[in-house]
Structure 1
Amino acid sequence: MLTVYHASGAGLAKVEGENATTGAVWIDLLHPTREEERDVEKRLGILLPTREEMAEIEVSSRLYQEGGAYFMTATVLHRAETATPEATAITFVLTERTLITIRYAEPRAFAMFLARAARGDASAGSAIEVLVGLLEAIIDREADIIEGIQAQADRLGQSIFEMRGGTATRTKRFEVVLKQIGRLGEITSKLRDSMLSLSRLLTYLTQVATSRGDSPSVREQIRTAGRDVQSLSDHLGYLNSRLTFMLDASLGLVSIEQNQIIKLFSVAAVALLPPTLIASIYGMNFRVMPELEWSFGYPLALVLMVLSAVVPFIYFRRKGWL
């Protein structure tokens, strides 16, 4: 889908029609068809990257200049609230007067920027202002996701160390906790990848804005966005360490639970060993066994077996092993 925006006062105006791209400040390509890509390429005289080229990870394929336009690709997280968060590549193509965005997902940041522009809270009078506004919206959105992860990590930390209940319920709860930690760790990993790509993009954009002679206010916005990305990256490092600690703590508590079960089996085996020995002795089929002729031989054997089981049990309890 091809959407064209023109600068309108302090905001943006959506324009349709055959000649809509003429004088456009922003062309948004969402799940573009090949015909739409060719139309934009023909009108602007540039070659747009394919979806496969957008997915390449080397810096030279993500940040480069070609045909008088600057190509910048960043990884952005979306669907973070769902069970299957995804990271998607978005390419920004900056020409002298127009910004082209190529994307195959609908991150909420784009809607956030359009809402800000409609209220007049975001400058959108030029292509680079739209680009900076979009990047700021992406950073704000990912900051919100990080804050959500922080809140979930706080709740998880409390549940891990304050978990109560029987062994069966605790085991099920630990299973849920481990899955939640794994999910948060996966989102955190994708966010760190996104922050790395945004940091590289902003560093490159700073050089582009300087070489283009863009206004000092725009260059200051880019530097501020870079500092925000750096602070978010640092916080993600802290969150990653905290999630690793909670994972280790959960696995340690699970190991303690398992050790407790194994200890019970070990104690039971040791406690039942003497009665088994006594029963084995008197179960042997020798002809001469004086105790077999005793009238009190059978009760004596039972008493010996009970005592041989009770004495180790009392000893283990006094040692604190049970």
Structure 2
Amino acid sequence: MLTIYHARSGGLVKAEGESAISEAVWVDLVCPSRSEELLVERHLGILVPTREEMAEIEVSSRLYQESGAHFMTATVLHRSETARPESTAITFILTEKTLVTVRYAEPRAFPIFLSRAEKGDVAAGSALAILLGLLEAIIDREADIIERLQADTDRLAHSIFYMKGGTATRTRRFDVILKQIGQAGEVASKLRDSLLSLGRLLTYLGQITAQRKDAESTREQIRMAGRDVQSLADHLGYLNSRIAFLLDASLGLVSIEQNQIIKLFSVVAVVLLPPTLVASIYGMNFRFMPELEWTYGYPLALLMMVLSAVLPFLYFRHKGWL
């Protein structure tokens, strides 16, 4: 889908028609067809990167200058509200007058920025201003995701260390908790990749604005966005450490639960061994066993079996093994 925007009175308005591309301040390509790519390439004199080229991870493939335009690709997290958040590559192509965005997903930062820009709440009078506005919206969105991730880790910590219920209930809940910890770790990993790519993009953009001698306020805005990304990355590092701690704690508690079960079976086996020995002795078919002819032989054998089971049990209780 090809959407064209023109700057009007500080805001953005949609424009229609092929001729509108040449005067556009922002051209948004969402899952573009080849004909749409060719249309943009013809009017703006650039080569739109393919989806495969956008997925390349080398810095030289993500940040470069070609035909007078600057190509910048960042990884952005989307579908974060679902059980399976995803990462997507978005390419920003900055020309002298136009910003071209190429994407194959719908991160929420884009409609959020567009809603504000159409109302004139954010600066959108130039391609660079729109690029900065989009980057700030993406950073704000990822900050919200990090805040939600922190709330999730707080809830997981409470569930792990203040868990109630019997062994069976605790085992089932640990199964769920381990999956949730894995999901939190997956989100944190994707966020780290995204913040890393955004940090590199902002560094590259800062170099561009310094070479072009853009306004100091614009360069300060870029530096501020870079500091925001760095602070988010630092906080995310703390969350990663906490998620790793919660995983270790959960596995440790699961191991303790398993050891308790194994210990119980071991104690039961030891407690039942002496009565089994007594029963085995008197179950032998020897011709000469005087106890078999004795009136109190059977009660005595039962008493020996009970005592041989109770005494080890009391010993284990005394040692604190039960």
TM-score bin (small chain): over 0.9
2:199 is matched by which residue type in structure 1?
S
| 8 Å CA contact 2:62, 2:73 repeated in 1 | yes
Identity %, equivalent residues:
75
The match for 1:130 is 130
Q: Take 2:119 and 2:246, find their aligned partners in 1: how far apart are those partners?
A: 43
1:294 deviates by 1.8
The match for 1:206 is 206
Count matched residues. Answer: 322
1:211 deviates by 1.3
The match for 2:270 is 270
Q: Take 1:46 and 1:211, find their aligned partners in 2: how far apart are those partners?
A: 21
Structure 1 residue runs of 4+, over 3 Å off?
none
Unaligned runs of 5+ in 2: none
The match for 2:89 is 89
Q: CA offsets, 1:48-77, max 9 Å, x none?
A: 110000000111100011111100000000
| 8 Å CA contact 2:4, 2:20 repeated in 1 | yes
1:118 deviates by 2.6
1:13 is matched by which residue type in structure 2?
V
Q: Secondary structure at the match of 1:221?
A: helix
| 8 Å CA contact 2:12, 2:120 repeated in 1 | no
The match for 2:217 is 217
The match for 2:153 is 153
Q: CA offsets, 1:1-58, max 9 Å, x none?
A: 0001111111111111221112111000001000000000011111111000000011
1:284 is matched by which residue type in structure 2?
M
Q: Take 1:217 and 1:118, find their aligned partners in 2: how far apart are those partners?
A: 23
1:260 deviates by 0.9
Q: Which shows bigger deviation, 236-245 or 9-18?
A: 9-18
Q: CA offsets, 1:102-145, max 9 Å, x none?
A: 00000000111112213333211111111011000000000000
Q: CA offsets, 1:265-308, max 9 Å, x none?
A: 01000000101111111222222222222222111111100110
The match for 1:180 is 180
The match for 2:74 is 74
The match for 2:279 is 279
2:151 is matched by which residue type in structure 1?
A
Q: Take 1:192 and 1:9, find their aligned partners in 2: how far apart are those partners?
A: 38
Q: Take 2:263 and 2:111, find their aligned partners in 1: how far apart are those partners?
A: 58
Q: Which shows bigger deviation, 58-67 or 14-23?
A: 14-23
1:318 is matched by which residue type in structure 2?
H
Where in structure 2 are the equivalents of 1:300-315 lying within 5 Å? 300-315=300-315
Q: Take 1:152 and 1:193, find their aligned partners in 2: how far apart are those partners?
A: 20
The match for 1:294 is 294
The match for 2:44 is 44
The match for 2:111 is 111
Q: Take 1:196 and 1:289, find their aligned partners in 2: how far apart are those partners?
A: 84
The match for 2:244 is 244
Q: Secondary structure at the match of 2:71?
A: strand
* TM-align CA RMSD: 1.0
Q: Take 2:142 and 2:85, find their aligned partners in 1: how far apart are those partners?
A: 12
Q: Take 2:74 and 2:314, find their aligned partners in 1: how far apart are those partners?
A: 67
Q: Take 2:283 and 2:155, find their aligned partners in 1: how far apart are those partners?
A: 60
Q: CA offsets, 1:230-284, max 9 Å, x none?
A: 0000000000001111111111111111111111101000000101111111222
The match for 1:316 is 316
Q: Secondary structure at the match of 1:272?
A: helix
